[in-house]
Amino acid sequence: MKAFRLFYRFFGALIGFVVFFLILAVFYATLTDYGPQGSAVLKPAGKSQKEAIDKNTLNLVSWNIGYAGLGKEMDFFYEGGEQVRPLREEHVKYFMGIINFFAAQTDLDFILLQEVDLKARRSYGENQVNRLQGSLPGYESVFAQNYNVKFIPVPINNPMGGVVSGVQNFSRFRALTSERISFPGNFSWPKKLFMLDRCFIIQRFLVAGGKILVVINTHNSAFDDGTLREKQFKMLKQTALEEYQKGNYVIIGGDWNQNPTSFDLSAIQNGDMATVNELGNIAVDFMPEGWRWAYDPAIPTNRDVSTPYSRGVTLTSILDYFLVSPNIEIGEVKAFDLGFENADHNPVRITVKLSE
């Protein structure tokens, strides 16, 4: 009986410690909550020699690099897996694979990235923002935080810790303006304290002849019932239409966390097992006539991370693509089938022509 009493006391003390730990974490997160609203001017790093876009044909890539922490060997605890972060050597391999990919893409005019860590335990404290800037000479870049949590207390036995992360744009041209725009809405308290504060980057570039090209990098919400994504899509739509009505060219790229219009499972041709996002496809009539969604129907761009990646077994889908205004012609659209080697997303490249 004495042994049982000692066990129950120990168990009770353990439960009490866990509860106290979580309460303390919530209290600390409340005091240090990031939660920006509205818009903020972004300061560029690096320098491009080109003050205006001097050609009609442009190449862009969008890639959610998953903070170089979700390569093919990884599963993730938050989505049904067990791991919190990869081994250090795996993280180094993933990040070098990402850098080497861009080193081989020598003709890119714009690069739109999501899930780039400024400082986080999950990526071993590496400043990925600066590392990427240093690996891409000749580009101007801006970075916008969408995740700034001092301490994420789960899982209890191996807390995720602090995360400062966001979206990053690179361009061969100097931007006239660069802004971080907060998306409306968030999860309810206390969940919102540990989730992303979603935003998009909007940049305006001078085109030779006097017009303006607007480039937007978006990373829309996941893990919600669709309410947040609906608000975010409406805001992106309103922004795009307003810019187009001014006579500007508009390109939006990123991780939309929803399938594009006309997404068809049977079109996947690389042997991956495809599935439909829980919200289904974007409505065909979401944008007015003339606006076009640009994606590669044959190659998935995102994989499930509840288990390590295995082609033909792991569920995949298309969540990464572009939306372009009617005054832009779409050339090639290509998703790179990288086998999710270094990230849980594949990059997507688009070639466009600005109509005169």
The answer on 149 and 233 residing in a single domain is: yes
Work out the mean pLDDT of the chain and round it to a whole number: 92
| pLDDT, average across residues 78-89 | 96
Tell me what pLDDT residue 2 has.
Answer: 58
pLDDT band for position 350 (50/70/90)? very high
The amino acid sitting at 287 is M
pLDDT of residue 23: 64
Q: Check residue 17 and give its pLDDT.
A: 46
- Tell whether 78 and 191 lie within a shared domain: yes
Q: Across residues 57-71, what is the average pLDDT?
A: 98
User: Domain check: are 17 and 165 in the same one?
Assistant: no
**In the structure encoding, which two tokens stand for residue 293, read together?**
């969604």
Over residues 78-102, the mean pLDDT reads: 97
pLDDT tens column, 12-51: 554 554 455 556 656 565 666 677 889 999 999 998 889 9
pLDDT value of residue 356:
76
Mean pLDDT of 165-192: 93
Instruction: Report the pLDDT value the prediction gives residue 5, as an integer from 0 to 100.
Output: 56
Instruction: Kindly state whether residues 17 and 56 are assigned to the same domain.
Output: no
Contact assessment for residue 351 and residue 58, using Cβ atoms and an 8 Å cutoff: yes
Band (pLDDT 50/70/90 cuts) for residue 187 is confident
Do residues 64 and 170 both lie within one domain? yes
When pLDDT is averaged across residues 286-308 and rounded to a whole number, the result is 98
* Confidence at 306, pLDDT banded by 50, 70, 90: very high
User: Do 8 and 140 sit in the same domain of this protein?
Assistant: no
Whether the pLDDT of residue 270 is over 70: the answer is: yes
Averaged pLDDT for residues 320-344:
98
> Which pLDDT value is given to residue 32?
67
Per-residue pLDDT, 37:
85
On whether the CB atoms of residues 146 and 222 are closer than 8 A, the answer is no
| Residue 10 shares a structural domain with residue 70 | no
Q: Average pLDDT, stretch 39-67? A: 96
What is the CATH classification number for the domain harbouring 283? 3.60.10.10
Predicted pLDDT of residue 14:
47
Q: What is the mean pLDDT of residues 93-119?
A: 98
- Helix/strand/coil (H, E, C) string of the chain? CHHHHHHHHHHHHHHHHHHHHHHHHHHHHHHCCCCCCCEEECCCECCCCECCECCCEEEEEEEECHHHCCCCCCCCHHHCCCCCCCCHHHHHHHHHHHHHHHHHCCCCCEEEEEEEEEEEHHHCCCCHHHHHHHHCCCCEEEEEEEEEEEEECCCCCCCCEEEEEEEEEEECECCCEEEEEECCCCCCCCHHHHCCCCEEEEEEEEECCCCEEEEEEEECCCCCCCHHHHHHHHHHHHHHHHHHHCCCEEEEEEECCCECCCCCHHHCCCCCEECCCCCCECCCCCCCCCCEEECCCCCCCEECCCCCCCCCCCEEECCEEEEECCCEEEEEEEECCCCCCCCCECCEEEEEEECC
Please state the rounded mean pLDDT for residues 193-219: 96
Question: How many other CB atoms sit within 10 Å of the CB of residue 149?
Answer: 23
- Same structural domain for residues 117 and 258? yes
* Chain length of the chain: 356
Average pLDDT over residues 134-152: 97
Say if residue 183 is in the same domain as residue 63: yes
How many domains, the chain?
Answer: 2
Q: What is the pLDDT of residue 36?
A: 85
What is the distance between the alpha carbons of residues 136 and 185, in angstroms, rounded to a whole number? 34
- In terms of residue numbers, what domain contains 150? 37-354
Q: How far apart are the first and last CA of the chain?
A: 87
State the pLDDT confidence band at 253, using cuts at 50, 70 and 90: very high
Q: Are residues 41 and 27 in the same domain?
A: no
Same domain? 17 vs 41 = no
Report how far residue 265's alpha carbon sits from residue 274's, in angstroms, rounded to the nearest whole number: 6
Pair 15, 60 in one domain: no
pLDDT category at 3 given cuts 50, 70, 90 is: low
Q: What is the mean pLDDT of residues 2-8?
A: 54
Confidence grade of residue 4 (pLDDT, cut at 50, 70, 90)? low
